Amino acid sequence: MADSETEKPLRKISDAFKELASSVNSPSPDVQLAQFSHACSLVSPLFGCLGIAFKFAEMDYVAKVDDLVETSKSISTLQVMVDKDIETNTVRKAGSHTRNLLRVKRGIDMVKVLFEQIIATEDNSLRDAASKAYAQVFAPHHGWAIRKAVAAGMYALPTRAQLLKKLNEDETSAKIQMQSYVTATTSVITYIDTMFLSKQLGIDW
């Protein structure tokens, strides 16, 4: 019999982010980079489930998460990692850990908005939900060519029923796990945004 853990990717994701949220919401939050990058790596297959429209996001996200996983072997927390980039004046350089963190945060955020849209509607087509999530999170940072490619890819999205089948969830259990992810990632995203803003780094680059 298959391991039930591997059969429920949504559950693994929501559990991992619930743990992260409890770190973020503690009196003295200090997020471990290894824990954060592991939780983010669990999200990667979700982009794969969405098909060609989010292929660019999947490739970009996976590469950035891999960098954070590797970095976590030598750097303990998100704060330390960002501070090191500030010290070496490499924050905005392509490939910097801080830049990668910002991109990964957008990936988490896009999935959060997608889940919010799915929870709020009964529509079997995911096109509206995915289009809104893309427009809100990624589109402002993408050039015309990528936006056009994504718009075309929206027609190849799985249906809601197909997505739930891939995730091995029914409607009720999926909504519970999606809501859990939304709640947890709201705290995590706010923590990262606040950290960037408190260090005068900005979050729109």
Diameter of the chain by CA atoms?
52
| CATH superfamily for domain 10-20+29-192 | Glycolipid transfer protein (1.10.3520.10)
Helices 78-87, 33-49: crossing angle, 10 deg rounding? 100
pLDDT of residue 1: 39
Q: Give the contacts of 83 (CB within 8 A, at least 6 positions apart).
A: 199
- CB environment 161-191: b (16+ within 10 A), e (fewer): eebbebbbbeeeebeebbebbbebbbbbbeb
Q: What is the pLDDT of residue 186?
A: 97
Task: For residue 32, report the phi and psi dihedrals to the nearest 5 degrees.
Answer: -70, 130
Closest CA to 67 of 105, 21, 98, 31: 98
Is 0.85 topped by the overall pTM?
A: yes
Per-residue pLDDT of the chain (205 residues; tens, 9 = 90+): 344 445 799 999 999 999 999 999 888 888 999 999 999 999 999 988 998 888 888 899 999 999 999 999 999 999 999 999 999 999 999 999 999 999 999 999 999 999 999 999 999 999 999 999 999 999 999 899 989 989 998 999 999 999 999 999 999 999 999 999 999 999 999 999 999 999 999 999 9
Helix (H, G, I), strand (E, B) or coil at 159: coil
Amino acid at 80: V
pLDDT of residue 127: 95
List own/partner pairs for 115-124 with CB under 8 A and 24 or more apart: 115/178, 115/179, 115/181, 115/182, 116/182, 118/160, 118/174, 118/175, 118/178, 119/175, 119/178, 119/179, 119/182, 123/160, 124/159, 124/160, 124/161
Tokens of 74: 């030598």
